[in-house]
Chain A
Amino acid sequence: MKRKKRLGRSFRNLIGFFIILLHAAPFYVLITTAVKARGNYSSRWTLPKNFHWENFMIALQDGKLLRSMSVTLFITAFSTLLIVSIGAFAAYPLARFRSRMSKTVSLLMLGVMMVPPLSVLVPLYRLMVTIHGLNTYWGIIILSATYGLPVSVFMYSNFIATIPRDLDDAALIDGCSRYSIFFRIILPSLKPVTSSVIIMTAINVWNDYSFQLYILQKPKMRTVTLMMTSFFGDGNTNMNAAAAATILSIIPLVLIYLALSKYFVQGVIDSAVK
């Protein structure tokens, strides 16, 4: 029995090993490409004799990668701030009140989650031109926040629904207003789900491509994703430097993920399971 158990374990390790290889392969290829000289056409699976670190230098110089990272960070931080605060605020009455109006608003939020951004991009672009939101930080921040809100409202109201209603009722009897209940009782207990909301929505904003492509057209305002498209674009033939730039651009996310992977896992679960 014990031997059978150990056999099962090593069998699982073997399968797990192959799954890891399969999923890591594209990134391994990315690394070998990034450290090869331009014009080195050896197999993508082999590492070169001499590592060409200058690809990374090219990526940092020409691409102004660091600047685009700080632009993206700025947009992500402010969008996430809006998503978290407006989302938590809206989630409280939606989770607590059972009126028809509350249900209608919840449905509206769910509906927005399904709207494919590309289907409204033409009119959205036109709207942003009209309100002078094109090539502005507030323009992209407000768009990213709007399309990130439904997830945040959904996660917060699921969480608030698990906080006992008796707390609210007791406070109401003591003469508390709904607002002070929200700020004094609900808000302090939202900490665990807030980390999930931040992770799930910040990643979406950071990784967004379609909104940024349409709204930010000045080279100065290029975000990381826009920068990468120019690296891989038609004009550029140095794919090794492009690979190096890709690695540099994902390093911050990967480090954050490795440090906080517990919260990432919780975030996925909170955003999906009711």
Chain B
Amino acid sequence: MFTRRRTQKATENRVLWTMTSPAIILMIVFVLMPLVIGLNISFTNWNGYSQSYYYIGIENYRRLVTDPMFQKAIINTVVYGMGSTLLQTILGVSYALLLNQPFALKNTMQTVVYLPAMLSSILVGYVWCFMVEYSHGAINDIALLFGVSKVDWMGNGNRAVLMITIANTLTFCGKAMLIYLAGLKGIPQSYYEAAGIDGASGFQCFRFITLPNLLPAITTSTILNLIGGLKLFGVIQSMSGGGPGYASHSLSTLINTIYFSYQDAGYASAIGIFTFLFIMSISIVLQSYLNRKAESNE
């Protein structure tokens, strides 16, 4: 019996390796190896194309500490990540609550809200450019209608970050909405009936039935939105290109700029390694926190 179990385990491992090996080889060659190569490049002064370069130790990492561009990019990345997540959660939950009830425009609303979420983020950014332009921009046209003076939305760093966050939210909140709607549909109607008999108010129903039962959906959606927001690249690239100056750069767009425009591959790699560790640790901490919360609620 014992040996049989052992051979079974050996077979299982063999099957496991055979069936997962194509995937594992791809992961090792195109994800893990680049990470290792990137770590190596981050200790050099390589410019991205020439044959010669020198190892300069942790110089690139020392630069991170004092570089105002990098620090601005970290703050912006956090704002893009947290801001989009917060706004998408609020919009997603409210839209889902609305869609969970019958009304004529329901299907149209669901279709329209989700539509931009399946478009390329760089394209959506270009579409938003027509909204936020200074002269002839659609938002400023409305402002003029009400006699308010025009605002140069993308001309100021903080406003640019705000507009990019809003554009990103309105574009991708459809995904959160669908996840929450599926979560709402999974809550048994009998819970609400029982609460109704006990005389619970609408808010009490939301607080003590809807919210706790929605927690698994909130967990997945929050993590997806946060990782998406922290990785934000396309929308920024097309709406502001990181400008004005470097005021709206995220870590991703900063890497692209430093590599392509400044041709400082060593420094770009150092930021890349930092970005990887940064996003990884935030996601892991958040995931374990939310999982614990979901478990304690069960």
Contacts and interface: CB of A to CB of B under 8 A. Distances in A.
Contact of B123 (A112, A246, A257): A246
Interface in B34-61: 34-38, 40-41, 48
Contacts of B31: 112, 115, 120, 146-147
A242 B255 CA distance: 27
Nearest to A124: B34
B243 interface: no
A102 interface: yes
A178 B15 contact: yes
Interface string B1-38: 00000000101110110011011101101110111111
A20 interface: yes
Nearest to A108: B27
A140 B264 CA distance: 24
Interface of B: 9, 11-13, 15-16, 19-20, 22-24, 26-27, 29-31, 33-38, 40-41, 48, 95, 98, 101-106, 108-116, 118-124, 126-131, 135-138, 141-142, 170, 175, 178-179, 182-183, 216-217, 220-221, 224, 227, 230-231, 233-234, 237-238, 251-253, 255-256, 259, 265, 268-269, 271-273, 275-276, 279-280, 283
A25 interface: yes
A118 B269 CA distance: 10
A90 B23 contact: yes
Interface in A96-140: 97, 99, 101-102, 105, 108-109, 111-124, 126-127
A126 B120 CA distance: 26
Contacts of A232: 126, 129, 238
B178 A99 contact: no
13 contacts: A25-B138, A26-B127, A90-B24, A109-B23, A116-B251, A118-B275, A119-B271, A122-B255, A123-B35, A124-B30, A228-B120, A228-B122, A273-B182
Please provide the 7 A-B residue pairs with the shortest distance between their CB atoms, ordered closest to farther: A207-B120, A123-B37, A123-B38, A118-B252, A12-B103, A119-B272, A90-B23
A143 to B, nearest CB: 6
Nearest to B177: A268
A120 B234 contact: no
Contacts of A112: 27, 31
B227 A242 contact: no
A127 B137 CA distance: 43
A16 B114 contact: no
A interface secondary structure, majority? helix
A127 B129 CA distance: 35
- Which of B116, B131, B272 has its CB near the most chain A CB atoms (within 10 A)? B272
B220 A44 contact: no
Contacts of A118: 231, 233, 251-253, 255-256, 272, 275
A224 B268 CA distance: 27
B38 A122 contact: yes
A253 B12 CA distance: 42
A23 B27 contact: no
Nearest to A127: B34
B119 A142 contact: no
A174 to B, nearest CB: 15
A179 B179 CA distance: 34
Contacts, number: 275
Contacts of A25: 131, 138
Interface of A: 8-9, 12-13, 15-17, 19-20, 22-27, 29-30, 33, 41, 43-45, 86-87, 89-90, 92-94, 97, 99, 101-102, 105, 108-109, 111-124, 126-127, 142-143, 145-147, 149, 153, 178-179, 182, 203, 206-210, 224-225, 228-229, 232, 239, 242-243, 246, 249-250, 253-254, 257-258, 261, 264-265, 268-269, 272-274
A122 B41 contact: yes
B280 A114 contact: yes
Nearest to A228: B123
A124 B259 CA distance: 13
Given A30-B127, A228-B123, 4 more contacts: A26-B124, A90-B23, A118-B251, A203-B118
Which among A9, A23, A113 has the greatest number of chain B C-beta atoms within 10 A? Answer: A23
A111 B24 CA distance: 12
Contacts of B104: 9, 13
B269 A122 contact: yes
